[in-house]
Structure 1
């Protein structure tokens, strides 16, 4: 396949973005892994971020392989890689939602008994919630495994003397299984993330208003801290939502022509992922401390 100069430029940008995400993920895992070796424990936030870093690292390598296989020569290997990509991507969504829920419970100023109970229990529940995220993802990915089997079967049937009835049935079943399942698999954790972030932002905004009515000596420093927290949450919300919408558009396939604009669209998606990875790293006090030392 002959590539024009513009396509080559988009591919180069894509590779640079992918390597940047891999380096970011490696940095998160290396720093938090060293912290775990040093003190023999990790905070709940760092446990979630370490899991996210490992997922991002694996996801980006698989994404690169999937994209190049898809563009140049889709085959059975591509289908297997796609199934692995879907598993890790759905797990990443659940882990990101878990991080948002943890912050919502620990930082929000709600006094409802459920919030008070969760605030006391959630640090000890995080390892079980991580395991639960993996188990939910395993159950969620079952339709994708069935779909992958169907696609491999279709490739096999197309290479044999044609059985048009069976091929048509498999095509119809695969068509009705694919898009709805992808939308549901990503929408459920995203809605959980959305609810947690909105609750947390409402709580911080209410607390900020209460502090404005109080004229205390330390009010200015606390006000700056809340404004900074709201800005960070806004960035986190914007870029994770953008990533979700970008995947949604890709799965629907109605706006982007996957052949002519494929690499440009991949550049857009992974530019969002780069910034989202930075916002994740800045949410950890340990990582922020290491970054300050390195920069200094």
Structure 2
């Protein structure tokens, strides 16, 4: 029974990997093609392209973890692997956070001078935020490499003589947790503001229409559902990561395998939602499918 579940887990993880790589690769190719044709890229497309690239890296890290947990490959416990994992994961979290901030600034209607200033300048600020985030996450990953390697080594070996951590290591862990909580707080603030703004506007339109179906209601409901799905998937990544870290070294533990599957579903499922919710990407998918049918 256990072997059957491991085979099923491997099949689902490979499907997640393929869907995630194809969906995010499609986003990169479409935006990259526009860059070659038009010699420029709008900030939102640049953000999507960077986010999709980081998610491809995250999918590669996730499939590697799956293979390690299933004992199909040997785990190489070196600082370089931890730096790559920390950089890919942290950069994806920050880029997804800026996507939520961009949505909030462009869509939400909030009567506040600071929000109005952000709405006017978010497009110009976005390239600087992306570049600053990539540099910041790289520097913090390098900064934490030594202590992250020591702590993970102790957890992996699980020897009784190495259970205690020093005060310096505890401080490093606390700083690392704070760094991961910061994008979460920014994301929650922007996402909840956008949800409340869309909900309030939809309620106003419904009251104005006096019971009739307003033609613009479907747009707001679709946007609201998209943001809610983004919020649920983003929060699930944090919860699943916490559970994986607590159960990770119990090889083939049921909770571990289930959490890793849910963790890997975030970058693939949300990328598909992004494609379906973006008019340009959705139109490109239709053209690609139509071209494929014509070639057959």
Answer yes or no: is 1:91 the counterpart of 2:84: no
CA contact (8 A) 2:25 2:56 kept: yes
Counterpart CA distance in 2 for 1:132 and 1:246 is 27
- Local SS of the residue matching 2:60: helix
CA contact (8 A) 1:46 1:284 kept: no
Give the direction of change, closer, same or farther, for the CA distance of 1:170–1:232 in structure 2 (3 Å limit). same
Residues 32-65 of structure 1, C-alpha deviations (whole Å, 9 max, x = no match)? 1111112222222211110011111122223323
* Superposed CA RMSD: 3.2
Counterpart CA distance in 1 for 2:41 and 2:277 is 14
Residues 111-145 of structure 1, C-alpha deviations (whole Å, 9 max, x = no match)? 21111111111111111011111122134324531
Deviates more, 1:261-270 or 1:115-124: 261-270
Superposition pairs for residues 1-296 of structure 1, below 5 Å? Answer: 4-69=3-68, 71-72=70-71, 73-77=74-78, 79-148=79-148, 150=150, 168=162, 171-172=165-166, 176=170, 180-215=174-209, 220-253=214-247, 257-261=250-254, 262-295=256-289
Give the direction of change, closer, same or farther, for the CA distance of 1:174–1:85 in structure 2 (3 Å limit). farther
- What's the TM-score, normalizing by structure 2? 0.82
Counterpart CA distance in 1 for 2:80 and 2:24 is 23
- Local SS of the residue matching 2:75: coil
**Equivalent residue pairs, number:** 282
CA contact (8 A) 2:47 2:95 kept: yes
- What's the TM-score, normalizing by structure 1? 0.82
Q: CA deviation at 1:170?
A: 7.9
Counterpart CA distance in 1 for 2:154 and 2:190 is 42
Give the direction of change, closer, same or farther, for the CA distance of 1:185–1:253 in structure 2 (3 Å limit). farther
Counterpart CA distance in 1 for 2:19 and 2:127 is 29
Counterpart CA distance in 1 for 2:186 and 2:140 is 16
Structure 2 residue ranges without an equivalent (≥5): 291-296
Deviates more, 1:234-243 or 1:268-277: 268-277
Give the direction of change, closer, same or farther, for the CA distance of 1:13–1:108 in structure 2 (3 Å limit). same
Structure 1 residue ranges without an equivalent (≥5): 159-163
Deviates more, 1:171-180 or 1:63-72: 171-180
CA contact (8 A) 1:179 1:251 kept: no
Residues 248-293 of structure 1, C-alpha deviations (whole Å, 9 max, x = no match)? 2222339x94432243432232234321221233343321221233
Counterpart CA distance in 2 for 1:215 and 1:6 is 53
